[in-house]
Amino acid sequence: MHVVSEANLLRAYLKCATLVVEKGVRKSDMAEVQDLLCKVVLSPDDVHMFKCLVRDLESHPELVKGHQKALRAYQRHFGSITKPSYIGRLRGYPFLKPGTNDLSPVDQFEIVVNQFREAPQSSNLGMVLFHPNDIRDAFRPGYVPCLSFIDIKFRGGSLSTKFYFRSCDFAEVALFDFYHCLNIHGEIASMFAKARPGVTIAQESILWNFSRAFTYNRRRKPIEIIRMAASDILSDDVDGYAQI
């Protein structure tokens, strides 16, 4: 198991990417690690800085492909033959209600907010993106959602969201996964605060659990672009991070 714990999102991404490049087991044309955990304690200033950086980089020729992939998953409400829509499944997936023929779309944000309103420390606060049919009906291996489950815990004034990934490309897509997971976390935190105004959320954190993290040896240039952009922001020397 590999563990990265940080209070800075950009530094956390770079540490994870470096770990994948340097510690990853070589497998044909890629490097891969399993069981990578990345925890970041969030602060408003750091979240703002990270989001601004991602928006500045998203149109870079080496990063635009990953940006567009993430948009299709996290913002487009309808899936395609190559990839399901993550936000579509969170906002309106037609899960079958047990014991009925009811396939009415389920808004999972609404469900967890209602649960939080009734019992903020409930252990049942979670949202699902994976469906068993994804494996049976996969049109291509990557069709099965990379982000499979989101667990939410509120304890002692601390709100933690945990994002479970089946797989993640740390060169092409991971930076944008971080960005969109931050947006999902922020929406959950905002909805929870409105649902229970008497409950104070004093601290927030995200844990990313990557069952598999990898990079293609021939497509690592995005990591170098991000590392160079970080050199203008981070106070520490970025030369220790992955160099391609």
Q: How many domains does the chain have?
A: 1
Q: Is residue 22 part of a domain?
A: yes
Q: Which residues span the domain enclosing 31?
A: 2-234
Q: Is residue 130 part of a domain?
A: yes
Q: What is the pLDDT of residue 213?
A: 97
Percent of the chain at pLDDT above 90? 71
Q: What is the pLDDT of residue 242?
A: 57
Q: What is the pLDDT of residue 152?
A: 98
CATH number assigned to the domain comprising residue 108: 3.30.572.10
Q: Is residue 242 part of a domain?
A: no
Q: Is residue 244 part of a domain?
A: no
User: Would you say 167 and 214 are in contact if contact means Cβ atoms under 8 Å apart?
Assistant: yes
Instruction: Report which residue type is found at 17.
Output: A
Q: What is the pLDDT of residue 187?
A: 97
Q: Is residue 13 part of a domain?
A: yes
| CB burial string 10-32: b at 16+ within 10 A, e below | bbbbbbbbbbbbeebeeeeebbb
Q: Is residue 239 part of a domain?
A: no
Q: Is residue 50 part of a domain?
A: yes
> Which residues of the chain fall short of a pLDDT of 50?
none
Q: Is residue 240 part of a domain?
A: no
